[in-house]
Amino acid sequence: MNSAIRRLAVGAIILMLALMANSTYLQAFRSNELNGRNDNTRVRDEQFSVNRGPILIGSSPIAQSKETNDQYKYQRTYSDGPLYAPVTGYYSFQFGRGGIELNQNSELNGSDPSLAFRRVVDVLTDRRQQGASVTLTLNAAAQQAAYNALGSKKGAVVALDPKTGKVLALVSRPSYDPNLLASHDLGKASDAWKRLNASDDRPMSNRAIKELYPPGSTFKLVTTAAALSSGKYKPDTAVHSPAQLPLPQTTVPLVNENGKNCGGSDNATLTVALRWSCNTAFGTIGLDLKADALREQAEKFGFGERQLPELGAVASQFPGDPNEPQIAQSAIGQFDVRATPLQMAMVAAGIANKGEVMKPYLVQSVRTGDLKTISETKPEALHQAVSPEVAAQLTAMMTDVVNNGTGKPGRIDGVQVAGKTGTAQTSKERPPFAWFTAFAPADNPQVAVAVIIEDAGVKRDEIAGGTLAAPVAKKVMEAVLGR
């Protein structure tokens, strides 16, 4: 009888061992899989309850978690929410995250592998896990200036430090208040989400980096860069620039905006052509250089690559295989050429930085709660877009645009600005886009900026990059230069 009982005892132990083995499998080996499930509310609740690190400009927080008494323990709060929304993004319970809140999530909530040691210390000292702080490169004055200058106009502004690639301002209008989405009143957050997504103004679309626009005449900087780099052109080379340029394979000619020839000449110099933004002159150059030369030049400025991965920007494009009339249109930034405001700021910044395009970046540093630096972004060169000589020639020509040409509204007293205006057509029905891209001071550039105004709410014939967009760029540059 006892031997049977002993066998049962062994059997019982086997049953218990099976339970232990199964729990081990579940809790040690399957936990990552189960924790990653979308319907895992406890993980979502837990992450939403973390003391998330702040997002800083300098030492002032633009997004921070404040303690509350409700079940989520911390309320994400954005000071100047709409001003910084395109950068910070949002942090919501139901709708996930966006912007830096998304891209730097693991650092902000403290789960990043680089913070593993910190977490162990927190566990040992029984402190609640605290996320790291993320310091941005933004210049608060420039950001505010850009936001105010755009006012109620739909558009975007990007300002870069040409020497490093730091993003100094990144504004998109109309904007939204991420505080609404971060609300712990989930019903209100849900209403706000629905309203923002249903709005025709698309306040949550980041126009500065995620919308592609025809760059229009600002693209002539790329065409000019290609022309000068080819060796066939100098700033004083005369270019065929009639009022109307007949194009091969089509009866529709390329025309100048004002219907006249270029600065009173059918063969204006390259400098004059840029000064007055003559379409026919750049059409001629485009047909001469061919599509590949233009595309290669555009790609050296950053076209075809996703810039600013922190915010998930889209890549600007130059068309793949255009025919001759399409090449002429592309050379003036029409047809299928598409660029983000960030990309056009990079074009100006590349010229400003002696032809070297720096990789744009937004996150300056990541630090633990007790201010130990975990990572610090170092400036990184992207491409040598043009030689320093060509960059100097382009700078001189852009200075001329601001001093004598279409860019006059961008002038700043006592500072030499170099810039280029743009007016991009999309269709007959909708008003064109107004562009201005510039940098200053021309001899020692501190800031490069691109402005687009999508819909200024004024009549079509009044729109010109010079009058609409340049004053915005001017305000931003003044803010950076401390004027």
Partner 1 sequence: MSIASTSVIQIIPRTRRGVELMLLIVAIGVSVGAYVNIGITVQDKVPASTGYYAAGIGLLALIAHLALRYRAPYADPVLLPCAVLLNGLGVAMIHRIDLGLAATRVAKGLNPKAAAAPQQITWTAVGVVLFLLVILLIRDHRRLQALTYTAGLAGLVLLVLPLVPGLGVEVNGARIWIHLAGMSFQPGEFAKVCLVVFFAGYLVVKRDVLTLAGHRFLGLDLPRARDLGPIGVAWAVSLGVLVFEKDLGSSLLFFGLFLFLLYVATERAGWLIIGFLLFAGGAFFASQTFSHVQARVDGWLNPFAEDRGQVATGLMGQAWGGILGRGLGQGRPDLTLYGQSDFIISSFGEELGLTGIIAIILIYTLIIERGLRTALGCRDIFGKLIATGLAMSFALQVFVIVGGVTGLIPLTGLATPFMALGGTSLVANWAIIALLLRISDQARRPQTPAAPVSDETIAMAVQKQ
| 440 SS3 class | strand
Site for partner 1 in 45-64 (CB under 8 A): 45-46
- Give the β-pairing of 60-67 and 74-78: antiparallel
Cα 342 from Cα 354, distance rounded (Å) = 19
Which of residues 58, 70, 380, 388 is near partner 1 by CB under 8 A?
70
Q: What is the DSSP letter of 130?
A: B
Q: Is 4 in the site for partner 1 (CB under 8 A)?
A: yes
Cα 23 from Cα 242, distance rounded (Å) = 82
Q: Which helix (H) or strand (E) holds 467?
A: helix 465-468
Q: Is 199 in the site for partner 1 (CB under 8 A)?
A: no
For partner 1, the closer of residues 6 and 290 by Cβ is 6
Is 217 a catalytic site residue? yes
- Give the β-pairing of 356-358 and 244-245: unpaired
Q: Is 30 in the site for partner 1 (CB under 8 A)?
A: yes
Q: Is 31 in the site for partner 1 (CB under 8 A)?
A: yes
| Residue span 389-428 as binding mask against partner 1, x where in contact by CB under 8 A, dash where not | ----------------------------------------
What's the one-letter identity of residue 129? Q
Q: Is 185 in the site for partner 1 (CB under 8 A)?
A: no
- Given 65, 92, 175, 217, the catalytic residue: 217
Residue with tokens 């107004």: 434
User: In sequence order, which residues have a C-beta less than 8 Å from that of residue 306 and are 6 or more positions away?
Assistant: 312, 313, 314, 315
Cα 329 from Cα 286, distance rounded (Å) = 8
| Candidate segments 10-18, 200-208, 352-360, 404-412, binder of partner 1 by CB under 8 A | 10-18
Work out how close the CB of 316 gets to partner 1 at its nearest, in angstroms, rounded to a whole number.
42
Site for partner 1 in 305-324 (CB under 8 A): none
Work out how close the CB of 108 gets to partner 1 at its nearest, in angstroms, rounded to a whole number.
21
Helix/strand/coil (H/E/C) assignment for every residue in 296-312: HHHHHCCCCCCCCHHHC
Cα 22 from Cα 39, distance rounded (Å) = 23
| Candidate segments 19-27, 99-107, 226-234, 290-298, binder of partner 1 by CB under 8 A | 19-27
Q: Is 41 in the site for partner 1 (CB under 8 A)?
A: yes
Cα 309 from Cα 436, distance rounded (Å) = 24
For partner 1, the closer of residues 3 and 427 by Cβ is 3
Work out how close the CB of 52 gets to partner 1 at its nearest, in angstroms, rounded to a whole number.
18
264 burial via Cβ count (<10 Å: 0-12, 13-18, 19+): exposed
Contact 454, 207 (CB under 8 A): yes
Work out how close the CB of 51 gets to partner 1 at its nearest, in angstroms, rounded to a whole number.
14
For partner 1, the closer of residues 6 and 194 by Cβ is 6
Work out how close the CB of 109 gets to partner 1 at its nearest, in angstroms, rounded to a whole number.
16
| Candidate segments 21-29, 90-98, 222-230, 277-285, binder of partner 1 by CB under 8 A | 21-29
Which of residues 19, 124, 198, 371 is near partner 1 by CB under 8 A?
19
Token readout for 328 is 């002429």
Q: Is 67 in the site for partner 1 (CB under 8 A)?
A: no
CA-based nearest residue to 480, from 451, 453, 448, 450: 448
Cis amide leading into 360 (omega within 30): no
Count the neighbouring beta carbons within 10 Å of the beta carbon of residue 450.
34
List, by residue number, the catalytic residues.
217
- Contacts with partner 1, residue ranges (CB under 8 A): 1-6, 8-9, 11-13, 15-16, 18-20, 22-24, 26-28, 30-31, 33-35, 37, 39-43, 45-46, 70-71
